[in-house]
Structure 1
Amino acid sequence: MAGRRNSRHEGAARQTHVSGSLRLILACLEGAKTATLITSLQDDE
């Protein structure tokens, strides 16, 4: 029983880590988009 509970907790922790990484990647993409917009706005002036 304890072994099962452990592996289930481990899986949940891994899922959290993956979603955290995805959030980080999305944040980087959003930042890149914003930087690109700012750069293109500066180019227009």
Structure 2
Amino acid sequence: MLDWMKIEAGRSVREEGEERRRRIREDWENREMLEIVEEGKRVRV
């Protein structure tokens, strides 16, 4: 029973970590896209 609980807790922690990493990666990708757009505007102007 305790082992099963530990496994469940470990899994939820790992899933939270992966979710957080994915969110951070998406934020970075969005920021890079915005910078590319800004660069494009600067080049056009």
Name structure 2 gaps, 5 residues minimum: 1-6
Match of 1:26 in 2: 32
What do you get for the CA RMSD once the two structures are aligned?
0.3
Distance in 2 between the 1:17 and 1:27 partners? 15
Distance in 2 between the 1:5 and 1:32 partners? 40
Q: How does 1:1-45 map to 2 (within 5 A)?
A: 1-39=7-45
The count of corresponding residues between Structure 1 and Structure 2 is 39
Aligned AA (2:43): L
Quick one: percent identity of the two aligned structures? 13
What is the TM-score of this pair, normalised by structure 1? Answer: 0.85
Name structure 1 gaps, 5 residues minimum: 40-45
Q: Structure 1 residue runs of 4+, over 4 Å off?
A: none
